[in-house]
Amino acid sequence: MSSEPQQVSAALASGVNPGGAGAAEGMAGALDAGWLELWYQPKIGSRTLDLQGAEALIRMCHPQLGIVQPARFIPRMGARPALSQFVIARALADWRYFLAEQSPLDLSINLPISFFDDPKSFDYLCRQLPDDPAFEGLILEVDGSEITRDLSAARDFARQRLRKIAISVDRLGGEWTTLLQLRDFPFVEIKVEPELVVGCAHDRAKRKLCRHAIDAANQLGARTVAVGVESYADLCTARELGFDLIQGFLFAKPMGVQAFMRAIGPGPATVV
């Protein structure tokens, strides 16, 4: 019997979609079919345990497969400009919804480094930014391994802070020593990957690596996020180490816009 990931991959490869197209056409057609959504996971202040922002994470709501994780379909779609534009437009539309329903919320979105190669992409992004005094900016999360492969482009783009755009180094792992030794460090945030955070309460080596990343980030003026906090022990350790923000299933799993609105509220964050 095939496993669930194998079933998903086989279905996507066969081009399961309303028009019966092939895999490439089917994945591209997911945008037109309205299968793609953004779900949100809160970022929690480590000291106050209040809501500090949220990361937008893409999901596919497939009519036959149900909720499909991005690892199952992003590789097949590739770094398509249309996909990045969808993420930008949807996230900023959701920001306006959050503002209207409750209050402005600092949002982060994930983009590939290739997005920065085309000057038209930056123009598109700037045109989408809300012209509202409540809008404080948008954080673009880019994988740390991608940044190190194209450091020049990432640094140039990260200097656009005056346009209310900033870059976060996502999933900082083995490449952290290269990035944190830069004298010119225009990135505003460093997200330490779950592989170093999960179990750090009981792993001295992980705690040491987290501490080095935090110390370097503090010297460079960047805030730090502990990603993948799933236990009270790791939460306490992350707070003791000095992480600025906490993100993980201990507080909330990613959820759709309506569920996110129901979950957030004034006061300290709730551990769910």
Kindly state whether residue 191 falls inside one of the protein's structural domains: yes
Q: What is the CATH classification number for the domain harbouring 45?
A: 3.20.20.450
Q: Dihedrals φ, ψ of 27, to 5°? A: -70, -40
Kindly state whether residue 99 falls inside one of the protein's structural domains: yes
pLDDT at 29: 74
Query: Tens digits of per-residue pLDDT, 161-184?
Result: 667 899 999 987 766 677 767 777
Q: Which residue has the tokens 């350790």?
A: 237
pLDDT at 16: 46
End-to-end Cα spacing for the chain: 34
Kindly state whether residue 231 falls inside one of the protein's structural domains: yes
Instruction: Give pLDDT tens digits along the chain (272 positions).
Output: 445 455 545 554 444 443 344 444 555 677 888 899 999 999 999 999 999 999 999 999 988 888 988 877 776 555 578 889 999 999 999 999 999 988 899 999 999 988 888 888 888 999 999 999 999 999 999 998 888 888 887 888 887 666 789 999 998 776 667 776 777 788 999 999 999 999 999 999 999 999 999 998 898 899 999 999 999 999 999 999 999 999 999 999 999 999 999 888 654 445 44
CA-to-CA dists, residue 191 to 52, 160, 224, 240, angstroms: 15, 20, 6, 17
pLDDT at 175: 66
pLDDT at 27: 57
Full domain range(s) for residue 152? 35-62+78-263
Kindly state whether residue 157 falls inside one of the protein's structural domains: yes
CA-to-CA dists, residue 123 to 83, 129, 133, angstroms: 16, 10, 20
Q: How many domains does the chain have?
A: 1
Kindly state whether residue 227 falls inside one of the protein's structural domains: yes
Kindly state whether residue 103 falls inside one of the protein's structural domains: yes
Kindly state whether residue 69 falls inside one of the protein's structural domains: no
Which token pair is 241?
């180490």
pLDDT at 57: 96
Query: Tens digits of per-residue pLDDT, 216-267?
Result: 889 889 999 999 999 999 999 999 999 999 999 999 999 999 999 988 865 4
pLDDT at 21: 42
Question: Would you tell me how many other CB atoms lie within 10 Å of the CB of residue 237?
Answer: 22
Beta strands 107-110 and 51-62, pairing class: parallel
Kindly state whether residue 185 falls inside one of the protein's structural domains: yes
